[in-house]
């Protein structure tokens, strides 16, 4: 049938804190770089104070994380304040997204055809008013990915990691 999409939901596994859970250790450097990219983007537009940037192979730097969190919390509706990383490794593609303000039940990860779709939605009710905060991120995957083996894990402090293994 033409126009039929294949959709598969990916379970989000809950894990410990990003910088303390060994599960995320191979992602620390990429996540630190993703936060630095946001900080650099905002520094170049004159929206924040200056910080130093260094390359790390250890836990993400607390200075970068602090400045990034300040930018993110005051510009939460701006897509360019959300740290996102997409990297290719020998055996997989790895995507990471900051979803700190969202609870696990507010996040939906699914595969639609050859694309990972991540959606987050929060509704807050105050009196008669309802405010909604949401985002959607899409990552197109190449044909060499095993779509049935895509997995995701959410750190306690809000870093969503999605692994898409390559076909053997």
The pLDDT value recorded for residue 77 is 63
Least reliable range by pLDDT among 46-50, 53-57, 84-88, 130-134 = 53-57
DSSP 74-98: HSTT-GGGS-EEEEE-SSEEEEEEE
pTM of the model: 0.80
Please give the DSSP secondary-structure letter assigned to residue 141: -
Task: Kindly list the domain boundaries of the chain, sorted by start residue.
Answer: 7-165
The domain made up of 7-165 is a member of CATH 2.60.40.790 = yes
Tell me the pLDDT band of 49, cut-offs 50, 70 and 90: very low
* Rounded distance between C-alpha atoms, residue 146 and residue 143, angstroms: 8
Residues in the chain: 168
Helix (H, G, I), strand (E, B) or coil at 154: strand
Least reliable range by pLDDT among 131-135, 138-142, 148-152 = 131-135
Tell me the residue ranges of DSSP E strands in the chain: 7-10, 12-14, 84-88, 92-98, 107-112, 115-126, 129-140, 151-154, 159-165
User: Which pair of structure tokens corresponds to residue 43?
Assistant: 């520094």
Phi (first) and psi of residue 97, to 5 degrees? -140, 140
């Amino acid at each position: 049938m033409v126009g039929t999409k294949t959709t598969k939901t990916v379970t989000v596994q809950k894990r410990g804190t990003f910088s303390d859970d060994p599960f995320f250790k191979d992602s620390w450097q990429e996540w630190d770089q993703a936060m630095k990219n946001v900080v650099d983007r905002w520094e170049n537009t004159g929206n924040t104070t200056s910080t130093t940037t260094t390359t790390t192979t250890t836990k993400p730097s607390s200075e970068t994380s602090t400045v990034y969190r300040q930018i993110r919390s005051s510009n939460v509706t701006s897509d360019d304040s959300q740290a996102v990383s997409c990297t290719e490794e020998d055996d997989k593609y790895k995507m990471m997204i900051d979803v700190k303000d969202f609870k696990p039940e507010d996040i939906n990860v699914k595969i639609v055809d050859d694309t990972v779709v991540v959606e987050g939605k929060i509704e807050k009710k105050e009196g008669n008013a309802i405010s909604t905060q949401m985002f959607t991120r899409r990552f197109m995957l190449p044909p060499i990915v095993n779509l049935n083996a895509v997995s995701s894990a959410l750190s306690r402090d809000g870093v969503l990691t999605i692994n898409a293994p390559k076909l053997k």
